[in-house]
Structure 1
Amino acid sequence: MLCLSVAPAQVIRAPQALEAAGSAIARLGHRPLIVGGDRSLVAVQSRLKPVLEAQKLKFTQASYGRDCSEASLAALKQAVAAHQADLIIGVGGGKALDAAKLLAYQCELPVVTIPTSAATCAAWTALSNVYSEDGAFLYDVSLPNCPNLLILDYDLVQTAPRHTLVAGIGDAIAKWYEASVSSGHSEQTLIIAAVQQARVLRDILFQKSATALQAPGSEVWREVVDATVLLAGVIGGLGGAQCRTVAAHAVHNGLTHLPIHSSIHGEKVSYGILVQLRLEEMVQGNQLAATARQQLLKFYTEIGLPQTLADLGLENITITQLKQAAEIALNPKSDIHRLPFKVVTEQLMAAMVSTTAPANSNPINPITTNLVNEEVAQ
């Protein structure tokens, strides 16, 4: 039996949406625990506190720490018990919202998500990623339901740094490049719908992102925020796990295991799209992938998405570190194996260091380690 979690039970989106959501929150519980990062909790407190007080809710807050980790979740469970919470309110970016959703699931409580940036679709999805205390991706957890309530307050999101929306655009646009590879051949109605929604999402972002970034708070900016936070979530909801991730997210997961990874989720994923297209181009000789990569490089330059390891702050990466990231991305349970061809470590390494190469350069099937060394040296 296939069970889909397509969407939150309710979505409230508007400027000043927080102030309009009090009664909707109160219907879900009377003793909320607010979960977020230290900065997000401070940023939202002056607006959320009066809303909860007006509804006479007994609330407290707890920081999830640095990552949505097993240790963090254990501490949050203690906070739930101490407060006798009957509702979780997640506030912040992707990791804070993942922690809130997973905590709510483990404690069998409803959850409200309040994104403070448009960097991911985590506020929408029935999925949480779990990381180590050092920020290395470990595994994801599919949840039985999307959040009970999503509050998308455009005024709150507008306070986030510009690069968070840029990263959200990179994360969202990956949906097309991954879903079309993993599920583009499907004849199932909902998966067809999900793949086509991913194409629509890509086109919206191609057309509107540059203008939106120049005019924060404008109508077109809101449309791009809707695309990254809401529409991106719809695709995984309709299509299920197989429509979510392929090589781009696998590369992200591998990079999180390196000692230096200052870039955020969507930045790594957007770089991972280029790696995936480079693999399709080099291993398969796929001309469409070559054309798509050149198109993306132009788009990335226009809005400021990373194109190389150096752009991610990894200009000093060693061969050993590159191999480590590639091997993790290729672990047996990795989504990279949804590619329609087999990839070996050396091929992935070469693709990771040649994302800006001219189209159809250096075909690598078969490949030697010498080529990887040459690519890194260049």
Structure 2
Amino acid sequence: MPNQSLPELSTQTAPSLFSLMVAPGRVLRGQRALEQAGDAIATFGRRPLVVGGDRTLSVTLPRLQLALKQQKTDIAQASYSPDCSTRSLESLRKAVTDHQADVIIGIGGGKALDTAKLLAHQCQLPVVTIPTSGATCAAWTALSNVYSDEGAFLYDVSLDRCPDLLVLDYELIQTAPQRTLIAGIGDALAKWYEASVSSGHSDQTLMIAAVQQARVLRDILFQKAAAALKEPGSEVWREVVDASVLLAGVIGGLGGAQCRTVAAHAVHNGLTHIPAAHGAIHGEKVAYGILVQLRLEEMLQSNQLAATARQQLLKFYAEIGLPQTLDDLGLGNITLGEFRQAAEIACAPNSDIHRLPFRVVPEQLMAAMISTTAPVEVGRPNLGLTSATNHNDV
């Protein structure tokens, strides 16, 4: 039999390897989903450490204990207070060791879930997320935001996977103040306005899919949000919760970091450094940031589509109760120094605001921040920056 030589190895450089964290390993959703999730949770471990805020733990832990009663688990709890911060995470890692935890369960809003995910990442443990409101998509994503103990945004951390299990209990979500779902609608809307800027011209298949899903998400919220807020617990309300918590997460998973945040979240990050802004929740600041981003495009690019989109959003915000101005965020009396500090942080060299197709400096951002409700300025001259784009078509 003739010798068969091995094929020669290619001398071409192998393509870069990209890792996508698209979705949780499993999603359980429905009325009283938490009570029915015991078996699924127990597959990850029998010594869970439950992470949440003090008030949330006092309300939800009895329901979780009941769900896990048949699985004979040994549950411990720990508060993430004061924030998803380095100090909190250090304390929680000690709690993991003391309890010999084999799974982390995060219960609460975005910061509680971010803390639980990052803790699990650091300890190399599985994580279960149980959102108690529709305020963000944090229950879904492979990302955690880290803050100072005082609540100022510092940086985000990309995680090696999405949560192993997400339990979306509509009855639990319904107990949260309606304001949280309104904020979640604002946070989810940003997916379109930011993804279309950062990735709207991409020819990559998954990026195209993410941007188009962001458009679908925006349209669902425009069509259904007002009705949902009038009928908590109804089918249309559940659809809006799914959109804000689940579909918003899908978009970030498909598109990755390049399809995640631009100016709206950069504005949020800057505002968190103003103590008075802590009275506004994440999605409210992001929703205001969308208006700022559109105002920048309008002012610096003569982008009439951005101007039209801003007017459309102002009408929608008024209908459902999202903030339109600094006053609406409780920031009408901030000092000039605080205002400038927020703008400078939002325009820092590593800020996502630089995903905009033009340069922005703090003075321009401040001008946009105080004019989010300004009338459309027809025929305003372009300031010599890149030509207007059409990613904000309405």
Which TM-score band (shorter chain)? over 0.9
- For 1:160 and 1:123, locate their aligned partners in 2 and report how far apart those are by CA, in whole Å: 15
| CA deviation after TM superposition for structure 1 residue 96, in Å | 0.1
CA displacement 1:121-161 (0-9 Å, x = unmatched): 00000000000000000000000100000000000000000
Q: Which letter does structure 1 place at the counterpart of 2:355?
A: R
Name the residue aligned to 1:211: 227
Between the aligned partners of 2:91 and 2:142, the Cα distance in structure 1 is 22
Aligned residues: 367
Q: Deviations over 1:172-198 (max 9, x none)?
A: 000000000000000000000000000
Q: Which runs of 4+ in 1 moved over 3 A?
A: 361-367
CA positional deviation for 1:321: 1.4
Deviations along 1:283-313, one digit per CA (max 9) or x if unpaired, are 0000000000000000000000000000000
Counterpart among 265, 269, 278 of residue 286 in structure 2: 269
SS of aligned partner of 1:310 = coil
C-alpha distance in 1 between matches for 2:197 and 2:24: 27
Q: Distance in 2 between matches of 1:130 and 1:318?
A: 26
Query: Displacement, 1:318?
Result: 2.2
Whether 1:68 aligns to 2:84 is yes
Residue in structure 2 matched with residue 347 of structure 1 by the alignment:
364
Equivalent of 2:346, from 329, 333, 339? 329
Identity of aligned residues (%): 74
Distance across 2 between alignment mates of 1:231 and 1:366: 37
The residue type paired with residue 70 of structure 1 is T
Q: Structure 1 CA distance, aligned partners of 2:260 and 2:111? A: 17
**Which range moved further: 53-62 or 151-160?**
53-62
Q: For residues 80-119 of structure 1, what are the alpha-carbon distances to aligned partners after superposition, in whole Å with 9 as ceiling and x for unaligned?
A: 0000000000000000000000000000000000000000
CA distance in 1, matches of 2:61, 2:160: 30
Residue of structure 2 equivalent to 1:124:
140
Partner of 2:245: 229
Given the alignment, which residue of 63, 78, 87 partners 2:103?
A: 87
What is the identity, as a one-letter code, of the residue corresponding to 1:290? A
Determine if contact 2:21/2:161 at 8 Å carries over to the other structure. Answer: yes
2:59 aligns with 43
For residues 49 and 176 of structure 1, what CA distance do their matches in structure 2 show? Answer: 39
The Cα shift of 1:66 comes to 2.5
- Of 248, 260, 266, 2:276 maps to 260
**Is 1:357 aligned with 2:357?**
no
TM-score, structure 1 length as denominator?
0.96
Matched, 1:284 2:301: yes
**Partner SS, residue 121 of structure 1:** coil
Q: Does 1:14 align with 2:30?
A: yes
Q: Is the Cα contact below 8 Å between 2:22 and 2:253 reproduced in 1?
A: yes
Which amino acid is 1:292 matched to? A
As a proportion of its length, which structure holds more helix?
1
3-state DSSP class of the match of 1:12?
strand
Paired with 1:25 and 1:313, the residues of 2 have a C-alpha distance of 40
- For 1:357 and 1:289, how far apart are their aligned partners in 2? 13
1:318 aligned onto 2:335? yes
From 10, 25, 28, give the equivalent of 2:41: 25
Residue 374 (structure 1) aligns with = none
Question: 1:363 Cα shift?
Answer: 5.3
Q: Secondary structure at the match of 2:51?
A: strand
- Return the alpha-carbon distance in structure 2 between the equivalents of residues 311 and 146 of structure 1: 34
3-state SS of paired residue (2:105): strand
Preserved CA contact (<8 Å) 2:143 2:157: yes
> Is the contact made by 1:201 and 1:232 (CA closer than 8 Å) also made in structure 2?
yes
Deviation at 1:259, TM superposition (A): 2.0
User: Where does residue 153 of structure 1 map in the other structure?
Assistant: 169
- Between the aligned partners of 1:362 and 1:134, the Cα distance in structure 2 is 44
Deviation at 1:361, TM superposition (A): 7.1
Correspondence 1:97-176 to 2 at 5 A: 97-176=113-192
Read off the aligned partner of 1:278 and give its amino acid letter: R
2:308 aligned partner, one-letter code: T
Match in the other structure for 1:371: none
Aligned to 1:193: 209
Structure 2 CA distance, aligned partners of 1:20 and 1:292?
43
Task: Compute the displacement of 1:366 (Å).
Answer: 6.1
Which one of the candidate residues 266, 280, 285 is aligned to 1:250?
A: 266
Residues 16-62 of structure 1, C-alpha deviation per residue, up to 9 Å, x if partnerless?
10111111001010100000001111121221111122210111100
2:301–2:383: 8 Å Cα contact kept in structure 1?
A: no
* RMSD, matched Cα: 1.3
Cα displacement string for residues 207-236 of structure 1 (whole angstroms, at most 9, x for unaligned residues): 000000000000000000000000000001
Partner AA of 1:128 in structure 2 = S
AA of the residue aligned to 2:19? C
Contact 1:254 1:324 in 2 (8 A): yes
Secondary structure at 2:247 match in 1: helix
- For 1:240 and 1:19, the matched residues in 2 are separated by 33
More displaced 10-residue stretch of structure 1: 36-45 or 307-316: 36-45
Taking a change above 3 Å as real, the CA distance of residues 26 and 301 of structure 1, as seen in their structure-2 partners, is same
